[in-house]
Amino acid sequence: METEHPDPAESNRRRIIAAATRLLTENGREAVSTRAVGAAAGVQAPTIYRLFGDKQGLLDAVAAHGFASHIGEKAALELTGDPVEDLRRGWDFNTEYGLANPALYTLMYAQPSPGAPSPASAAALEILAAHIHRIAEAGRLRIDERRATHLVHAVGGGTTLSLIATPEDRRDMSVSHLAREAVIAAITTGAPASPPPRPAAAAVALQALLPRTGALTAGERALLTELLDRISAAPDEPA
């Protein structure tokens, strides 16, 4: 039986990312030069450029690797029947991870390019959006999903970065808790957790509430009423 040999390029890639992560953790971002990383990984600078393009490409790969590890740990948090409580637990986990890995967290979130979030930040937004969608499905979201996702992402990340920048003996963790509860109050209703309503029932409820809003034109209201009529009359799909 032939022994499979590891791909040299992939092996180099892993060693380089591990070396860069170690330098970042021990000495900060400024220590992650191509020369220092090459020496630590036992490769020449051209190998780094060939695999990552440039230093920023290497830093993006380090951030993506760190984020994958973060998500792997976060996956161990089992979802409960209350999506708002799950959001609360996820917020706390994110803060704890940032304080335990300050250099990596700062790399992942603190220096985005204008108009272009880092790969790690974009992946974090996707996962957060899924949590927010669960809250919306439960009928507990006060604002639209996109704004809720970006609000939680911005305030949660900013709070964690602020705590990282504060000397450990002066950190007040109640700041994170207050920020968390303020954001949750801003985006969710106070209704207790319950099974999400069926689409037909939700359509009927929205029809009943339409007279209370003046956000629609007469034509828009007529169109929405027609669509809600169709949803409320259709059989629900199995869960």
> What's the gap between Cα 77 and its chain centre?
15
| Arithmetic mean of pLDDT, 111-122 | 67
Please, are residues 66 and 104 in contact by the beta-carbon 8 Å criterion? yes
Question: Does the pLDDT value for residue 166 go beyond 80?
Answer: yes
The yes-or-no verdict on residue 4 having pLDDT over 60 is: no
Under 8 Å between Cβ of 231 and 203: yes
Amino acid present at 82: D
Of 135, 111, 130, give the one whose Cα is nearest residue 121.
Answer: 111
Q: What is the mean pLDDT of residues 209-235?
A: 88
pLDDT digits over 57-85, tens only?
898 888 888 888 777 676 666 788 899 99
Q: Do 19 and 40 meet the contact criterion of CB atoms below 8 Å apart?
A: yes
Give me the pLDDT at residue 1, please: 44
